[in-house]
Amino acid sequence: MQQPSLESQSADRDATGGEPPAERASVTFRLALLPVALFIVTVLAFVAAQFGDARAPAQQWLNRNVGWLLAVEAAASVLLGAMAMAADRRRIVESAESVESRVESEESRVES
């Protein structure tokens, strides 16, 4: 099996000489960020509302609905996070199988 050249190895390194550049986050990981961000905004809004006028319609609505709202946001965060991890795991396994099959075909080609 042929070793990669120094040029190709250095091309894979980032400008700082560290590890190869990381891949962009998958769509599922980006989707998982939405309910997390919404959860944070909801908590901050609830805390801020406690310092305002208790008769304000927005504060009354938030006080009535904050429990189920946070529960839905937390459940969505967990569900989308688990889906993102499963999709990432599947992508890694498929990539490893692809590399393995290329190596086997390369070895059989070299042997013949």
pLDDT for 63: 92
The pLDDT value given to residue 110: 74
At residue 38, the pLDDT reads 96
pLDDT at position 97: 83
Give the DSSP H/E element, type plus range, for residue 19: none
Identity of the amino acid at 93: V
77 occurs within a structural domain: yes
Residue 4 lies in a domain: no
Task: Classify residue 13: in a domain, yes or no.
Answer: no
Total-model pTM: 0.64
Q: What is the pLDDT of residue 20?
A: 57
Overall number of domains in the chain: 1
Distance between first and last Cα of the chain: 14
In a domain, 81, yes or no: yes
Asked if 66 contacts 42 with a C-beta cutoff of 8 angstroms, the reply is: yes
Query: What is the residue range of 91's domain?
Result: 26-111
| Mean per-residue pLDDT pooled into runs of 10, the chain (112 residues) | 51 54 76 94 93 91 94 96 91 84 76 68
pLDDT at 2: 53
Alpha-carbon separation of residue 81 from 7, 87, 99 (angstroms): 38, 10, 27
- Residue 76's nearest CA partner among 39, 30, 25 is 39
Is 1 within the bounds of a domain? no
Q: Is residue 100 part of a domain?
A: yes
**Does 5 map to a domain?**
no
What integer pLDDT is reported at residue 73 of this predicted model?
Answer: 96
The torsion of the CA quartet 41, 46, 50, 56, rounded to 10 degrees, works out to 100
